[in-house]
Chains A and B, each alone.
Chain A
Amino acid sequence: MNRHPWKYTGFPAILLLLFAAGTARSDAGKVYIGLNAEAGHSTSTSDDAIRQGIRIAIDEINRSGGVLGGRKLELIVRDNRAIPARAAAHFRELSGTKDLVAVFCGKFSSAVLESMPLVHEQKLVLLDPWAANDKIIENGYSPNYAFRLSLKDGWAVPAMMGYARDRGFSKVGLLLINTSWGRNNHEVVKRYLAAHPGISVVDTKWFNYGDSSLMPQYRSIRKAGAKAIVFVGIEPEAAILVKEMAALPLVNRLPVVSHWSVAGGDFPAMTGKALEKVDLAFVQTFDLHYNRSKRAGELLAVANRLFNMKSFREVKSPCGLSHAYDLTRILALAIDKAGSTDRKKVRDALEQLGRYEGLIRVYDPPFTPARHEALSPENVFMARYDTKGLIRPIQ
């Protein structure tokens, strides 16, 4: 009979417990950030840019000691394929993750808006590096758990309409995506027109995701006497419009002033030579392709190490990377300021941060209790694709 059976079972058990404890301590040390974006969308590059921006920031933060006195940040990515129901399901799942302090959203405002009740029910800090619908921030919840470092429609519409007006297009036609995002832009346009009588909308047409042609709407707008088209949509439908317009005689091609989501995909690749035949300008918030700043160089070094990225010109949606980077850095500051992973404290801390010099701008401060928009209209400018397929601000 074995008088010391623990010799054979105790040691492995102790080793196992030590390993488990070590693992648990390691897991407990991590602070999680979620990304609930449209990775499964075939033409979207905005989610890639957002993920890269977050990872660059996380790498920098973790290399500099992490947050909360040494805890590493880690990104958890979920693909909602731009479907609100999936986004909501992912928000619900992520909200149950221990030490997850915030969740970044993607490009699709609809997917974000669908989850707003859940976000506030779960007290989940929502960080928006792209989705532009005004209602994401102006959601009516108090306390408001949504924070945006990005463009909003309320800024994009004046930029687009102002650009058109400045170019002498006193009559424009609206071509809008038939979603809450498109309708929000429509409302903003109506408000803009009420305040700016120098420009008028002669026709408004809507299209759906998945439409195979936008020519009927285009012809209608052109027939109505529009001198330019103000387009609110994402890259697949914008590419359809550009390619269809490029097939028209030059005199029949109207200038297109677009919201910024045409840059949510590899638009030059999607349109090819057609892009050169169409006068397309779109909204941007940050010039990364031609940025020569020291900070951009530092980021590129990290990006090169992480993604073997030689140049930011490889980034198809540079605003997404820039926004996500700055927002992650701001979040890290908020976590440290909160002193814990408690989401409410982190949310409160986001409103209480001081000045921060980010990649895009100096945030002084990034957010306040009354302002959950980190950028401002001054950050908004018009840009176009140059012959190299890079986004270049219009001077």
Chain B
Amino acid sequence: MTGHPDGKESSGILGALCPKILCGGDIYRRIVASMTLFAVCVILLIGVVSYACVDLLIRKNMRLAMESTASQQALKLSSSMDSIQESLSYLSKNSLLINSIIDTSGSRSYIDSFMKSYRPAGHGSVRLTLCDFQGSPIASNLATPASYNNPDLLQQTVEKCLPFSTVLSRRGADNCAWFLLAYPVVWNMTARSEGVLIAEVPIGEMIDAQLFAMGNKNNGTGFRMLSGGRTLFSRNFVEGTGLEKIELPLSTAAPLNNLGLSMQIENHRRISLWWLIPAYAVSGGILLLLSTILARRISSSVTFQLRALGAVAQRVAESGSLDTHADVAGPDDVKALASSFNAMIDRVRASNESLERRVAERTADLSVANEELLRINLERELANDGLREAMNKISTLRGLLPICASCKKIRDDKGYWNQIEVYIAEHSEVDFSHGICPDCAKELYGKFLD
């Protein structure tokens, strides 16, 4: 794991998830944390979307698979039923049958063994009976054939010379339903139906042979065959519990087409996505790890130049030297920042140099002025020395002068009261010229002035 550039270990995923880290800390951590958090969100989002998509896809595929299966099964069953019908129709036209109807000894000689030996392809349990026009058996592959004196059957096959079909139920169970197929046996010499070939086909056995052979019994689907809403055969079919249900009509030739046959299949199998969890966890973990590494690399690549720039800035700050420049490298914005920083350093250095130059110029001027001032001061000191000597010679007007509030005479050190002009004149180099101020003039000579 990539370490922090400063040597500090990052706080990892948990740290990345911490808002404190997101809102504070250095850029490196914030970038890593942000990217990691983003990766986590993406992984979660991908997980959710993937689950939904996989589930949807699986359902769709299952639906398609069921439709395909149902179509195949319907085709198989239709073909099987048509095969039986074609076999029986073909058999009913066999001259041996009409011959046996005309031949009195048929039921006691060849036709019985012929009937017993006849097997429609793939339907070994078909009960086959050749009857006369009244439905009385002539020959059969059964030991004790029943009489088929059903008026509808005889009306259809003997009178109308058309094939007939119906459903027989034995022992009341759905799976014990049989197809009864009856075909007229027409003699070309009378052009009439002179007998009936009747076959009872066990529906369950037929469907088993066609659909559930080869150990394909528990494939998680339910199946049933219907005839006009009546269940003829069902296997693993529980109404209302299937996840998916498909119904297809069974397209058959006459006479079975009169029964309105259809088939339904339903799917009980739930596709478990538990395998998605470890797969998702492993791939998510790898993705998170890669994203963290990537985040660190990206963050490192982004902040490396910033850190270099910061180091340069720190050196400048600590040394005050503006001779250092930052490397202009890294991302564009960092390069722009480094370029700006260098420009700033250059500008500051140039500004400093200008300032120093001006300071030097000012300093030079000040030196001249100072020398002049020193000369003047020297001269003044010299003057002051002369003055000081002069002063020493004169009393100086300094300190408190006691003056009369009324006559304005000043008391000297010796206690004598002196005229102010006298006193100042004695104690300074001032000479007085006498005059009168307006006010005094006004006061003294007001009346003359007017």
- Give the interface of A toward B (CB within 8 A): 40-44, 81-86, 89, 108, 110-111, 113-114, 177-180, 183, 208-212, 236
B188-225: contact bitstring with A at CB < 8 Å (1 yes, 0 no)? 11111011000000000000000000000000000000
Known contacts A81-B194, A89-B134; A179 and B102 CB within 8 A of each other: yes
**Are A210's CB and B98's CB within 8 A?**
yes
- Chain B's nearest CB lies how many Å from the CB of A279? 26
B96 within 8 A of A: yes
A residues in contact with B99, CB < 8 Å? 177-179, 208-210
Whether the pair B132, A43 counts as a contact (CB closer than 8 A) is no
Contact among B105, B138, B187, B189 with A179 in the assembled complex (CB-CB below 8 Å): B105
Asked if B309 lies at the interface with its beta carbon under 8 angstroms from chain A, I say no
Contact A209 B95 (CB under 8 A): yes
Please, how many angstroms separate the alpha-carbon atoms of A111 and B103 in the complex?
8
Do the beta carbons of A83 and B104 come within 8 Å of each other? Answer: no
Contact of B102 with A110 in the complex, beta carbons under 8 Å: yes
Task: Tell me how far the C-beta of B214 lies from the nearest C-beta in chain A, rounded to whole angstroms.
Answer: 40
- Whether A83 lies near B189 (C-beta < 8 A) is no
A209 touches B191 (CB 8 A): no
Taking a contact as CB atoms closer than 8 A, the residue among B104, B109, B189 that contacts A209 in the complex is B189
Is the beta-carbon distance between B95 and A83 smaller than 8 angstroms?
no
Residues of B within 8 A of A177 (CB): 99
Which of A89, A177, A208 has the most B CB atoms < 10 Å from its CB? A208
A328 to B308, CA, bound (A): 141
Q: A42-B189, A111-B104 are in contact. List 18 more A-B contacts (CB 8 A).
A: A41-B189, A83-B133, A83-B187, A84-B104, A85-B134, A89-B134, A110-B104, A110-B105, A177-B99, A178-B99, A179-B102, A179-B104, A183-B109, A208-B96, A208-B98, A209-B99, A209-B189, A210-B98
Number of B interface residues in the complex (CB < 8 A)? 24
In the bound complex, do residue B105 and residue A210 qualify as a contact, i.e. CB atoms below 8 Å apart? no
Bound complex: CA A208 to CA B102 (Å): 10
- Report chain A residues within 8 Å CB of B109: 183
In the complex formed, the residue of A with least CB distance to B96 is A208
- Expressed in whole angstroms, the Cα–Cα distance for A44 and B194 within the complex equals 17
Q: Could you tell me the distance between the alpha carbons of A86 and B187 in the complex, rounded to whole angstroms?
A: 14
- Give the Cβ gap from B349 to chain A, nearest Cβ, in Å: 122
Residue in A108, A183, A210 whose CB lies within 8 Å of B188: A210
Inter-subunit contact A179/B103 (CB<8 Å): yes
Closest to A115 in B: B104
Q: In this assembly, does B339 line the interface, its C-beta being within 8 Å of a C-beta of chain A? A: no
Point out the residues of chain B lying under 8 angstroms from A210, CB to CB: 95, 98-99, 187-189
- Please indicate which of the listed interface residues A42, A89, A114, A209 has the most CB atoms of chain B within 10 Å of its own CB: A209
Cβ-closest 3 pairs across A and B = A85-B132, A208-B95, A210-B95
A89→B103 CA distance, assembly (Å):
16
What distance in Å separates the Cβ of B153 from its nearest Cβ neighbour in chain A?
Answer: 16
**Which residues of chain B (95-148) have a CB below 8 Å from chain A?**
95-96, 98-99, 101-105, 109-110, 132-134, 136, 138
**Chain A residues with Cβ under 8 A from B191's Cβ?**
42
